[in-house]
């Protein structure tokens, strides 16, 4: 009786501590929003332009382009998830930022309940969401589509496990619906997951002779029907792109097999885990996962029934390893946003590892998890202390991009045209900030990429290592503008420059290059 009371008090203290750590990291995650800041890099800014496209068109069948797969696109799911916040906030990026927090907390608590229900380990569930938030707290003010897939990987594995355990078809259908949603969000992750899943599912169906369950595979085309509709309307562009990729006849030069394998092994044992700023420490954790899996497999061979958490551990580790194995089919570098959605798997493996039956293993997992939680929390607190000093200090800051657009509109012109130059050609950050301010100033008539009597050029500075990528030739050959500005202002600290021009009839008659107006051409 005394031992039971002691264990209860001990568990209560641990859960209370985990809740406090969760709350601390949540406060850190939302802090930038209170001072009007979100990350605003190219992919996020592009999404804001696509949100605007959805508001105008209502129905959009594709999302942003998929890098590494020419002519292919992600699905529109991530865009539609953000649209309610975009509409409520009238395009305000900070409201979208709050939307990201709401989505994150919602999916974390859904995952927590799934872990509690399926594994029946409430401690492991709380530990997972605390560890997850601790590691990703500084990411939450800058989400884009791969993060949506990141949120779904563990729910997918848990529901698939429940199907394998119960043989109830509805759980197979639900798990494949989740996987279909992951295809929308990040096909580079969901593709290997689909292949890995099919091996398990087909084996299970053959073993149990439950061939009627094969119809649940229709969940994949059902959830990705927007791709089919887009293909039918656009001469099977996506199918052709996929076939070209499979045949290996793309314009991209493939890496040799040895380089591809080494790249996958390096990421799998380091950046894919990323608990420590050390390759060797992350590699040791991978070895720990591998040794744990071997011990559990040997236990199975000795005809010892595995506990639920042990089975889930093996299934999760299987998806982690096979993702990198099947990613070899892509003969290019494995970019960060390709493997980002799998980074929840090591977090989950650590959390489940603390509930293993083997006491020595369990102790190692508890010690490791404690170190990771406390070191990441201390790191997050230090970043939080420096938050005010880091706001608006680079071009991927909403605060900075907002300052550029606000400076233009504060000139109080009733009507003006503008052009944006950026060395990366896309200029999505400045386009999105200008687009927002156009809505904020409805009485100002603005012409996008058109010359007017008052015309502004917004100019991003060239990279320090490529000074020749300046705007001079663009201004003369694309905008067809040779005169000097009547007003000029540089926006510190990045060095974007705004130039204001007064154009006469002769200036206006000289046409601009029509190819310059690529507002969202590349998606």
> How high is the pLDDT of residue 359?
84
Q: Would you place residue 1 in the very low, low, confident or very high pLDDT band (cuts 50, 70, 90)?
A: very low
* Order of strands across the sheet that contains 496-502: 445-448, 415-421, 454-459, 496-502, 487-491
Three-state DSSP at 441 gives: coil
Cis peptide before 493 (omega within 30 of 0): yes
Better pLDDT: 20 or 66: 20
Q: Which of 109, 147, 148 is nearest to 130 (CA)?
A: 109
- The Cα angle at residue 20 between residues 15 and 25, in degrees rounded to 5: 125
CA distance 452 to 455: 5
CA distance 417 to 433: 15
Ordered DSSP codes for 311-345 = HHHHHHHHHHHHHHHHGGGS-S---HHHHGGGGHH
What is the tens place of the pLDDT at every residue in 175-211? 999 999 999 999 999 999 999 999 999 999 999 999 9
Give, to the nearest 10 degrees, the angle between helix 2-34 and helix 122-136: 30
In this prediction, residues 68-77 reach a mean pLDDT of: 88
CA distance 357 to 374: 25
DSSP 238: H
- For residue 417, the cross-strand partners are 447, 455
Q: Is the pLDDT of residue 78 over 90?
A: yes
What does each C-alpha distance from 318 to 197, 300, 304 come to in angstroms? 10, 15, 20
Q: Is the pLDDT of residue 476 over 70?
A: yes
In what helix (H) or strand (E) does residue 50 lie, and over which residues does it extend?
Answer: helix 42-57
What is the tens place of the pLDDT at every residue in 356-393? 878 888 899 999 999 999 999 999 999 999 998 889 99
In what helix (H) or strand (E) does residue 444 lie, and over which residues does it extend?
Answer: none
Its pTM stands at 0.94
Q: How many residues would you count in the chain?
A: 523
Q: Is 45:431 a contact under the CB 8 Å cutoff? A: yes
> How high is the pLDDT of residue 247?
67
> How high is the pLDDT of residue 286?
97
Q: Is 105:23 a contact under the CB 8 Å cutoff? A: no
Q: Is the pLDDT of residue 331 over 60?
A: yes
> How high is the pLDDT of residue 341?
98
Per-chain mean pLDDT for the chain: 93
**Of the listed ranges 6-10, 121-125, 143-147, 370-374, the one predicted with least confidence:** 6-10
Q: Is 469:370 a contact under the CB 8 Å cutoff? A: no
What does each C-alpha distance from 199 to 193, 317, 318 come to in angstroms? 10, 15, 11
Q: Is the pLDDT of residue 445 over 90?
A: yes
Q: Is 510:480 a contact under the CB 8 Å cutoff? A: yes
Better pLDDT: 1 or 138: 138
Output b/e per residue, 115-153; b: 16+ Cβ within 10 A.
Answer: beebbebebbbbbbbbbbbbbbbbebbbbbbbbbbbbbb
Q: Is the pLDDT of residue 444 over 90?
A: yes
Q: Would you place residue 3 in the very low, low, confident or very high pLDDT band (cuts 50, 70, 90)?
A: low
In this prediction, residues 390-399 reach a mean pLDDT of: 94
CA distance 263 to 291: 23
What is the tens place of the pLDDT at every residue in 229-277? 999 998 888 888 888 877 665 666 788 999 999 999 999 999 999 999 9
In this prediction, residues 342-362 reach a mean pLDDT of: 92
What is the tens place of the pLDDT at every residue in 506-522? 999 999 998 888 888 76
In the chain, the percentage of residues whose pLDDT exceeds 90 is 81
DSSP 414: S
Q: Is 283:269 a contact under the CB 8 Å cutoff? A: yes
> How high is the pLDDT of residue 248?
64
Output b/e per residue, 490-518; b: 16+ Cβ within 10 A.
Answer: ebeebebbbbbbebeeebeeeebeeeeee
| Cα dihedral sign, 498-438-65-268 | positive
Q: Is the pLDDT of residue 173 over 80?
A: yes
CA distance 215 to 435: 46
> How high is the pLDDT of residue 323?
98
**Of the listed ranges 50-54, 118-122, 327-331, the one predicted with least confidence:** 118-122
Q: Is the pLDDT of residue 6 over 70?
A: no
Q: Name the one residue in this structure whose structure tokens are 């100019």.
A: 459
What is the tens place of the pLDDT at every residue in 149-164? 999 999 999 999 999 9
Extract the runs of DSSP E, i.e. beta strands, from 384-515: 415-421, 445-448, 454-459, 487-491, 496-502
């Amino acid at each position: 009786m005394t031992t039971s009371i002691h264990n209860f008090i001990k568990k209560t203290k641990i859960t209370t501590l985990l809740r406090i750590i969760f709350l601390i990291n949540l406060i850190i995650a939302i802090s930038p929003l209170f001072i009007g800041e979100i990350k605003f890099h190219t992919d996020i800014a592009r999404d804001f332009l696509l949100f605007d496209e959805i508001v105008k068109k209502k129905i959009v069948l594709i999302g942003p382009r998929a890098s590494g797969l020419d002519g292919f696109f992600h699905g529109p799911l991530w865009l539609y998830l953000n649209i309610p916040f975009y509409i409520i906030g009238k395009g305000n990026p900070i409201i979208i930022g709050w939307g990201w927090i709401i989505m994150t907390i919602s999916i974390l608590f859904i995952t927590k309940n799934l872990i509690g229900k399926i594994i029946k380990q409430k401690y492991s569930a709380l530990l997972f969401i605390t560890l997850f938030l601790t590691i990703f707290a500084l990411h939450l003010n800058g989400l884009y589509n791969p993060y949506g897939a990141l949120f779904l990987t563990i729910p997918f594995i848990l529901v698939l496990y429940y199907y394998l355990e119960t043989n109830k078809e509805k759980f197979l259908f639900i798990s494949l619906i989740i996987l279909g949603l992951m295809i929308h969000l990040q096909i580079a992750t969901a593709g290997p997951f689909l292949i890995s899943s099919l091996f398990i599912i087909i084996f299970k169906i053959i073993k149990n002779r439950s061939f009627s369950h094969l119809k649940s595979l229709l969940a994949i085309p059902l959830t990705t029907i927007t791709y089919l509709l887009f293909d039918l309307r656009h001469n099977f562009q996506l199918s052709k792109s996929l076939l070209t990729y499979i045949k290996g006849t793309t314009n991209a030069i493939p890496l040799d097999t040895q380089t591809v394998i080494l790249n996958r092994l390096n990421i799998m044992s380091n950046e894919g885990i990323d608990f420590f700023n050390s390759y060797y420490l992350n590699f040791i954790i991978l070895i720990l996962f591998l040794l744990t899996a071997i011990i559990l497999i040997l236990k199975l061979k000795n005809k010892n029934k595995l506990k639920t958490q042990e089975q889930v551990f093996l299934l999760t580790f299987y998806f982690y390893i096979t993702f990198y194995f099947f990613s070899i089919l892509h003969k290019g570098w494995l970019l960060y946003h390709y493997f980002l959605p799998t980074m929840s798997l090591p977090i989950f493996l650590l959390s489940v590892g603390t509930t293993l039956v083997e006491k020595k293993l369990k102790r190692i997992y508890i010690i490791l998890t404690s170190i990771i939680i406390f070191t990441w929390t201390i790191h997050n607190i230090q970043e939080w202390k420096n938050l005010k000093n880091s706001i608006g200090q680079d071009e991927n800051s909403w605060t900075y991009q907002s300052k550029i657009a606000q400076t233009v509109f504060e000139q109080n012109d009733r009507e003006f045209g503008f052009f944006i130059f950026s060395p990366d050609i896309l200029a999505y950050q400045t386009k999105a900030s200008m687009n927002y301010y156009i809505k904020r100033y409805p009485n100002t008539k603005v012409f996008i990429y058109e010359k007017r009597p008052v015309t502004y050029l917004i100019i991003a500075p060239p990279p320090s290592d490529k000074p020749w990528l300046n705007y001079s030739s663009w201004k003369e050959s694309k905008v067809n503008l040779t005169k000097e500005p009547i007003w000029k202002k540089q926006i510190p600290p990045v060095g974007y420059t705004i130039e204001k021009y007064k154009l006469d009839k002769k200036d206006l008659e000289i046409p601009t290059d029509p190819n310059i107006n690529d507002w969202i051409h590349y998606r």
